[in-house]
Every structure is written in C-alpha cells, then in structure tokens.
Structure 1
Amino acid sequence: MDLQLKGKRALVTGASSGLGEAIARMLAAEGAEVIVHGRNADRAEQVAGAIRDAGGLAVVALGDLATDAGADAVADAALEGGAIDILINNAGVVSHKNWSDAMAGDWLEVYNANVVSYVRMIRRIIPQMKELGWGRVINIGGGLAIQPIKEQPHYNATLAARHNLSVSLARQLQGTGITSNVVSPGAIMNPMVEEWLINAAPKFGWGTELEEIKRKAVMDLIPNDTGRFGRPEEVAGAVLYLTSPLADYISGGIIRVDGGTMKSL
C-alpha cells in the first residue's frame, strides 16, 4: 500500500533509538524526508546515516526539548530544510519512583519532560502547518494513561495529559487541514526492558532463559490477548497510518497498540 508520504517532511522527536528510531526508519522507507531528533549527536547521526544508506532522506536536529532554548534549536534546524508536514512527539523520560519517593520536584521534572516538551514543539511547528493547509500531529501516549498502576504515579499522569492535550488540540485545529491523534503503546520490548526483565527474573521466579522470562513476565505483569510484548515496528505501523492522507477522517483519536492489554468496549 502506498501511504502517499513521498515529498512529506516529518520531524520525529526522540528518534535516536527505540520507538522513535523505528518510526523514523519506516517513514523514510515510505518516501518521507525525516528529521531525526536527539540529544546525542553520534546516536542521532547513526540513525540518520542508516536511513541514508538505505536510500532514504534524513537530517539531524539536536536539542533538549525540556528547555525553551533546546526546542528553539530543534525547530530551527528542522525548518531550515523546508516546511514540516508531520510532527511525531515521542521524546520523553520514564521514572520508576512511587508515591513514597516521588517528591513534588520529581512530578514537575517528569511533567516538563513528558508534557511541556510536546507543547513546545506543537507551538513551534503548528503555525507553519496552518500556512500549508495540511498537517499531522501524532503524540505517543500509553496504556497507563487509561489504567494507571500504583507505581510511578507522576509518569502515569503525564501519559494521561498527553492524551488529553491531543484531543483538545484536535478541536482547536478544526477546519485547518491538520489532525491531532494519539498512538498508545502497551509494553514494548527494547534493550532496556530486556535488561530489566533479566535482572528482575530471580525476584519473581521467572526462570533463567530469556524467552521463558518474557513469557512469564507477560503473564504476571501485562496479561494480554497475544501473550507477548510488542515490537517497536508494530507501534510505528500505527503511527505511519495516521501520518498518511488516508487518515484524513481521523481526528482526536487514540489507537491502542497493546495486544489487548487495556480492556474497553
């Protein structure tokens, strides 16, 4: 299927690894020019270089989106090569503190990195999308926004804020040709998750072999209809659909990619 992305320019925040990298690579494979955002120049350039080696178009934009100056730098670098048609807000942080040790300062820090960073990029990129008369904003949310757990309450709350602001933005953008939607991943396997599972396995009795550990961890932590963790490429596929003109009629939506972990009608 042709997603009609040739000639589009897409800024993907947090694209130097993990989910953001998967989204950037897939967008480039569909013909979009990708701006790979990161804070580490070597890692971001490695992703952009791999895209170019595969025949795609990619440039790098560096900056810390938790600051206004960093967001300015990223927006300026991204727009230097032309208008931005697609904004994927993906960059953020995870904190594993709980109600006992997450102080007010921790809440502020995580909210700034996970929510205000999205707002910074929206405010810098949306105005020129309005001039184009078309655009896409896809914000990465998460299942913990809908069904929070008792741990990491400050992190859970930032995901809920991402979902909420995305719908509000969609209403604000009515009639502009720009849509705002959310892709909400479940538990996605990556090297950090894999390392955590291996370290946690003895405590929970999940065994010693990696595949056994993964299987038992799913049963204990995230029981779902597929019986496994998700892959970054599966989330990226949902993101790509929403970036396409084929998704013109989707506004303020939330697409869950979680194997059925969240139970809702």
Structure 2
Amino acid sequence: MNLELEGKRALVTGSSAGLGETIARLLAAEGARVVVHGRNEARTRAVAASIGADAVLGDLATDEGADEVAKVAGHVDILVNNAGAYPHHTWADATPGRWAQTYQTNVISGVRMIQRLVPGMRARGWGRIITIGGGLATQPIAGLPDYNASLAARHNLAVSLARELGGTGVTSNVVAPGAIRVAALETVFLHMARERGWGSTWEEIEPRVVNEVAPNDLGRFGRPEEVAAAVAYLASPLAAYVSGATLRVDGGAIRGV
C-alpha cells in the first residue's frame, strides 16, 4: 500500500535507537524526509546516514535543546513524540524530585516540540502529531508510579491537542505499544530469566515472560516494526479522519471497548 508520505518532512524524537529508530527507518522507506533525533552524536548520525536522513542533537528536557532541534528540523509535517525515559522507580524511592524529572523528560519535552512545530502545520493546513504512549497510562501497575502517570499525561495531552486542532487539517493521535522486543527490554528480561532459571536465550524465555510478567492474547512480545506500521498509518493522508484516537499495539494486553 502506498501511504502517500513521499516528500513529507518527519521528525521522530528519540530515534537514535530502539523503537524510535525503527519508526524513522519505516517512514524513510515510505518516502518521508526524516529527521533523526538523539543525544548521542555518534549513534544519531550513524542512524541518519544509514537511511539518508538529517540528524539533530538536543536535550528536549530543556528549552535550549528543544530550540536547537526545532531550528534544525525546520518545516515539519509529521511530529512523532517518541523521546522519553523509562525510570524503574518504586513508591519508596520515587521522590518528588524524581517525579518532576520524569514529567519533564516524558511530558514537557513533547509539549516543547508541539509548541514549536505545530503552529507551522496549522498555518499550512496539514500535519500529523503522533504521541507514543502505552498501556500503563490506563491500567497502571503498583511500581513505576511516576512513569505510569507520565504516560497518562501523554495520552491526555494528545487528545486535548486533537480537540484544539479540530478543522485545521492537523491531527493528533496516540500509538500505545505493549511489551515490545527492543534491545533494552530484552536485556532486562534476560537478566530476570537467568535469576529465575527460565533459560538463557530469548526463544527459551519469551513464553515464560509473557505468561508470568506481560500477558497478552497473542502470547508473544510485539516487534518494533509492528508499532512503526501503526505510526506510519497515522502519519499518512490515509488517516485524515482519525484524530484523538489511541491505537493499541499490544497483542490485546489492554482490554477496552
């Protein structure tokens, strides 16, 4: 299917590795002119070079970093707010300072890019904002309280933005991944599996992890490409009638009607 992304300018924040990198690669393969963003210069430039994209460095948790990213990105048609942190705090160690830092990194960073780039989309009468959220936004667990809350805020702001942009030709939606097999998560679960005697290879432990830690209806972890496909659809002109929506890519982990 032709997603009609040829020539569209797309900024994917946090795209020097992991899920963001996969999203950037798919958008580039579909013809979008992609801007790869990260904080690690070598990694960011390497990903950008491999897909013929522009690279931009900047810490979106600061106004200065966001200004630099927006300046280099320039005219942006598609903003994928993917950048964020996954702190492993418990209620015992999630101090107010850590809550504030998580909110700054996971929520305000996206707000900064929205405020810098969406006015241009609105003036041109076309644009797409896709926020990467997650199931913990609506079904939080006991741990990770600051992270759970930051995801909820990301979902909420995306819908509020959709309402604000009604009738402008600019849409705002959420893609909410479940447990996705990216390198960082795989490392965490491989370590857990060795401690519990579940095996030493991903093929051995994936069924146990899914069954005991991250259950879903399909019995496996998702793949980054499956999330990227959802983002690419929402970024395309084909999704012109979709706004304020949450597209869950989680194997049915989150139940909803």
- Structure 1 length-normalised TM: 0.95
Q: Show the 5 A alignment for 1:168-207.
A: 168-207=160-199
**Number of the residue aligned with 2:66:** 71
Q: Kindly state the Cα deviation for residue 218 of structure 1 after the two structures are TM-superposed.
A: 0.5
Q: Kindly state the Cα deviation for residue 205 of structure 1 after the two structures are TM-superposed.
A: 3.7
**Number of the residue aligned with 1:150:** 142
The structure 1 segments of at least 4 consecutive aligned residues displaced by more than 3 Å after TM superposition are 202-205
Which structure 2 segments of 5+ residues have no match?
none
Alignment-mate amino acid for residue 35 of structure 1: V
**Number of the residue aligned with 2:88:** 96
1:209, 1:135 → 2: CA distance? 43
Q: Kindly state the Cα deviation for residue 241 of structure 1 after the two structures are TM-superposed.
A: 0.2
Identify the range of structure 1 (189-198 vs 14-23) with the bigger mean alpha-carbon deviation: 189-198
Identify the range of structure 1 (125-134 vs 190-199) with the bigger mean alpha-carbon deviation: 190-199
Deviations 1:46-88 (A, max 9, x none): 1111102xxxxx1011100000000000000000xxx211000
1:208, 1:243 → 2: CA distance? 38
Q: Kindly state the Cα deviation for residue 103 of structure 1 after the two structures are TM-superposed.
A: 0.5
Which structure 1 segments of 5+ residues have no match?
53-57
Q: Kindly state the Cα deviation for residue 191 of structure 1 after the two structures are TM-superposed.
A: 1.4
Deviations 1:168-195 (A, max 9, x none): 0000001111000000000111111121
- Structure 2 length-normalised TM: 0.98
Q: Kindly state the Cα deviation for residue 204 of structure 1 after the two structures are TM-superposed.
A: 3.2
1:102, 1:203 → 2: CA distance? 25
2:111, 2:212 → 1: CA distance? 35
**Number of the residue aligned with 2:19:** 19
Alignment-mate amino acid for residue 262 of structure 1: I
Aligned residue among 70, 79, 85 for 1:87:
79
Q: Kindly state the Cα deviation for residue 156 of structure 1 after the two structures are TM-superposed.
A: 0.4
> 1:179 is paired with a residue of what secondary structure?
strand
Q: Show the 5 A alignment for 1:218-229.
A: 218-229=210-221
Alignment-mate amino acid for residue 243 of structure 1: A
Q: Percent identity?
A: 60
Alignment-mate amino acid for residue 138 of structure 2: I
Q: Kindly state the Cα deviation for residue 212 of structure 1 after the two structures are TM-superposed.
A: 1.6
**Number of the residue aligned with 1:256:** 248
Alignment-mate amino acid for residue 25 of structure 2: R
1:191, 1:245 → 2: CA distance? 31
Per the alignment, do residues 89 and 218 of structure 1 end up closer, same or farther by CA in structure 2, a change over 3 Å counting?
A: same
The answer to whether 1:29 aligns with 2:24 is no
The answer to whether 1:7 aligns with 2:7 is yes
Alignment-mate amino acid for residue 27 of structure 1: L
**Number of the residue aligned with 1:214:** 206
**Number of the residue aligned with 1:55:** none
Alignment-mate amino acid for residue 166 of structure 1: A
1:206, 1:158 → 2: CA distance? 32
